[in-house]
Amino acid sequence: MLLYKVKISHLTNGDIEYEHNIDGLDIVAYGDLYVLVRSAKIVGELVLDEELAIADSAVKSATNANSLRAALLEKLALIRYRKETAGIELAGVPINTAINDQNRISNAYSSLLNGLISSTRFKGANGWQTVTAETFAPIATAVAQHVDKLFNAEGIVSEQLENMTFDELQNVDIEQLFNVAVASLEQEAA
């Protein structure tokens, strides 16, 4: 993951010394006169696009089945990650599924289930909600099932790649295989 640092002049605004938004990137400085690009969703997409381009290049330059399979597996993992973190919709409400969002949902639900807290205010894509274990269960379940389905699809496609010849690997559409696996898993779950 890339980390961007830029020197700035010293400004004070409480604990945050400098806060600004440039082209959709949230930039905040805490001490030492540095700016950190901290919008994981936007920065993550830029990094992921670069990683996908590198994976595509590795696929195109592979000269044997093992190197091509390894490059396809890397690309497959990136495709799964992009879909995993793209978010879901539950009853018309968008649910963020970036890794930090998954962790927050899991931690909040665990705290509610274990009686550490009886309710909490949770900030979702549609704003603040007060939730209990009972009202939060559908969200936590949907996110867990979403992530599980995508990892299962990646596993299915990985196994398919293991059984392919070099010629088959050269002609495979890895994203299509992944989408077919996802659709199959969704059909099984329905």
Q: Is 124 exposed, middle or buried (0-12, 13-18, 19+ CB in 10 A)?
A: middle
Over residues 31-65, the pLDDT tens digits come to: 433 333 333 333 344 456 667 777 778 888 888 99
Residue 55: inside a domain, yes or no?
no
Over residues 94-145, the pLDDT tens digits come to: 899 999 999 999 999 999 999 999 999 988 767 888 999 999 999 999 999 9
pLDDT higher than 70, residue 19: no
- Asked if 78 and 165 sit in the same domain, the reply is yes
Task: Give 98's DSSP letter.
Answer: S
The span from the CA of 14 to the CA of 113, in Å, is 36
Provide the number of structural domains found in the chain: 2
- Asked if 16 and 69 sit in the same domain, the reply is no
Are 162 and 154 in contact by the 8 Å Cβ rule? The answer is no
Residue 94: inside a domain, yes or no?
yes
- Asked if 103 and 161 sit in the same domain, the reply is yes
- pTM (2 decimals)? 0.73
- Asked if 139 and 184 sit in the same domain, the reply is yes
Going by C-alpha positions, the residue among 25, 27, 30, 26 that lies closest to residue 12 is 30
- Asked if 99 and 165 sit in the same domain, the reply is yes
Please compute the mean of the pLDDT values over residues 7-30 and round it to a whole number: 40
Q: What's residue 8's pLDDT?
A: 36
- Asked if 86 and 179 sit in the same domain, the reply is yes
- Asked if 90 and 140 sit in the same domain, the reply is yes
pLDDT above 70: percentage of residues in the chain: 73
pLDDT higher than 60, residue 152: yes
pLDDT band at 154 (very low <50, low <70, confident <90, very high): very high
- Asked if 89 and 12 sit in the same domain, the reply is no
Residue 95: inside a domain, yes or no?
yes
- Asked if 115 and 149 sit in the same domain, the reply is yes
Are 58 and 77 in contact by the 8 Å Cβ rule? The answer is no
Residue 46: inside a domain, yes or no?
no
The boundaries of the domain holding residue 144 are 64-189
